[in-house]
Amino acid sequence: MSGLQIDDISMRFDLPNGSHVQALQNVSLDLKSGELMSVLGPSGCGKTTLLNIVAGFLKQTSGQVVLNGKQVIGPSADRGMVFQQGALFEWMSVRKNVSFGPDMKGMPKAQSNEIVEHLLDVVGLQDFKDKAVYELSGGMQQRVALARCLANDPDVILMDEPLGALDALTREKMQGLVLKLWKETGKTIILITHSVEEALLLGERLLVMAPRPGRIHKEYRLPFAEMGVGADLREVKKHPDYNTTREEILAMIWDMEEEIMGRTEESAA
Partner 1 sequence: MIILGMYILIFAIAALIWAIVGAPFVKKDPFTALKTVTFGDESAIRSNRFASVISVISIFVIWGSFTGSSLIPGFLHVPGPFQGDTGFTYEATAPDGTKDTGIVRALAHPVGAVVELPSLDDLEESGFAKNFATTIPAYRASTIIAGKLLEDRKEQKITSINGIPIAPEGAVDIENGQVRMNAKGSLTFEPEQGMQMAEQFLPSPEKVGKRFISLIFDGYQNVTLFEHLGLSLFRVLVGFLLGCLVGIPLGYAMGLNGWFRGWFDPIVEFMRPVPPLALIPLIIIWLGIWETGKISLLFLAALWIMAIAARSGVSGVRISKVHAAYSLGASKWQILKNVIVPNSLPDIFTGARVAMGVCWGTVVAAELVAAQKGAGKMIIEASKFSLTDIVIVGILLIGVVGFGIDILMRILEKWLIPWKGKG
Rounded to 5 degrees, φ, ψ at 11 are -135, 125
- Residues in contact with partner 1, counted by CB under 8 A, come to a total of 29
Applying CB under 8 A, among 10, 48, 76, 195 the residue interacting with partner 1 is 76
Judged by CB under 8 A, does residue 134 bind partner 1? yes
Judged by CB under 8 A, does residue 137 bind partner 1? no
What phi-psi label fits residue 127: left (phi over 0), alpha (psi between -120 and 50 degrees) or beta?
alpha
Instruction: Give SS3 for 6.
Output: strand
- Minimal distance, residue 70 CB to partner 1, in Å: 15
- Minimal distance, residue 232 CB to partner 1, in Å: 32
Cβ contact 172:204 at 8 Å: no
Judged by CB under 8 A, does residue 77 bind partner 1? yes
DSSP state string for 169-218: HHHHHHHHHHHHHHHHH--EEEEE-S-HHHHHHH-SEEEEEETTTTEEEE
The widest CA-to-CA distance across the chain, in whole angstroms, is 67
10 Å CB burial of residue 210 (0-12, 13-18, 19+) is buried
Judged by CB under 8 A, does residue 261 bind partner 1? no
CA dihedral 76, 82, 83, 88 (to 10 degrees): 90
Judged by CB under 8 A, does residue 162 bind partner 1? no
Binding mask 41-70 for partner 1 (x = CB under 8 A): --------------xxx-------------
Judged by CB under 8 A, does residue 231 bind partner 1? no
Measured from the CB atom, the residue of 55 and 123 that comes closer to partner 1 is 55
- Cα distance between residue 236 and residue 242, in whole Å: 8
Q: In this chain, which stretch among 149-157, 181-189, 226-234, 239-247 interacts with partner 1, using CB under 8 A?
A: 149-157
Cβ contact 193:26 at 8 Å: no
Residues 86-105 close enough to bind partner 1 by CB under 8 A: 86-91, 100-101, 104-105
Judged by CB under 8 A, does residue 124 bind partner 1? no
Give the interface with partner 1 as residue ranges (CB under 8 A).
55-57, 74-77, 79-81, 83-84, 86-91, 100-101, 104-105, 132, 134, 148-149, 152, 154, 158
